[in-house]
Chain A
Amino acid sequence: DSGVTQTPKHLITATGQRVTLRCSPRSGDLSVYWYQQSLDQGLQFLIQYYNGEERAKGNILERFSAQQFPDLHSELNLSSLELGDSALYFCASSVDFRTDYGYTFGSGTRLTVV
């Protein structure tokens, strides 16, 4: 157990639908990162939050949004889902916004869009 909790572990939904993925960071970590992992693209950075504020944005589609709440948990909202959104979505956390000491990843949410 890495200390980063992601729910749900698996999600199957239809095209056009909206889903919410949840992440609780490791205790004491203030930064949360969302990554998408697909077979052809590898791990792609989506967005980072630090202590409730958006800190950095990566290759995140406009149909996707995220937020970090006062208790530091984070949610990634995916809407108007397409078949190509099927992937593993990982949340990671770190103590602060520096990356030098590495991230702690959760076990991921496997999203299947049918």
Chain B
Amino acid sequence: TQLLEQSPQFLSIQEGENLTVYCNSSSVFSSLQWYRQEPGEGPVLLVTVVTGGEVKKLKRLTFQFGDARKDSSLHITAAQPGDTGLYLCAGVGPQGGSEKLVFGKGTKLTVNP
């Protein structure tokens, strides 16, 4: 069974601070996805990383896929209250096109004004 461990589990910071959250596994994934979930809503896809070492930027969010495709990180610069939410990473099996995503339990981020 492929497991994804996310850390930290909870993070509370002030507006304007930078932060990094991590997603780690002992398994190799053909790709990894990051989602953000707000209270009362379903997860929303932010990005997919496919190539080991790949870095993708989405405004103030920077996503990195580890060289060995076993881990990923999400860095937020100058966090804003609107960034508050549950950040989930999800891995696709090494064969790619696997029928389901394996989700981590998430990092709950609170950005205080």
Chain A residues close to B by CB (< 8 Å)? 2, 4, 33, 35, 41-43, 45, 48, 55-56, 58, 90, 92, 97-108
22 pairs across A/B with beta carbons < 8 Å? A2-B42, A33-B100, A41-B105, A42-B88, A42-B104, A43-B88, A45-B100, A48-B99, A58-B100, A97-B97, A98-B96, A99-B92, A99-B99, A100-B48, A100-B92, A100-B96, A101-B48, A102-B33, A102-B48, A104-B45, A105-B35, A108-B40
Of B42, B43, B44, B101, which one neighbours A99 at CB under 8 angstroms?
A: B101
Partner of B42, one of A48, A58, A98, A107: A107
CB-defined contacts of A101 to chain B, threshold 8 Å? 48
Contact in complex: A107, B48 (CB < 8 Å): no
A100 to B106, CA, bound (A): 20
A42 close to B45 (CB less than 8 A): no
Q: Which residue of B lies closest to A56 (CB)?
A: B99
Q: Considering residues A100, A101, A107, which has the most beta carbons from chain B within 10 angstroms of its beta carbon?
A: A100
A-contacting residues, B16-56, CB 8 Å: 30-31, 33, 35, 40-45, 48, 50
**Cβ 8 A contact of A108, one of B42, B45, B99, B105:** B42
| Contact A99 B97, CB 8 Å, known A90-B42, A92-B42 | yes
The answer to the question of B63 belonging to the interface, with a C-beta cut-off of 8 Å to chain A, is no
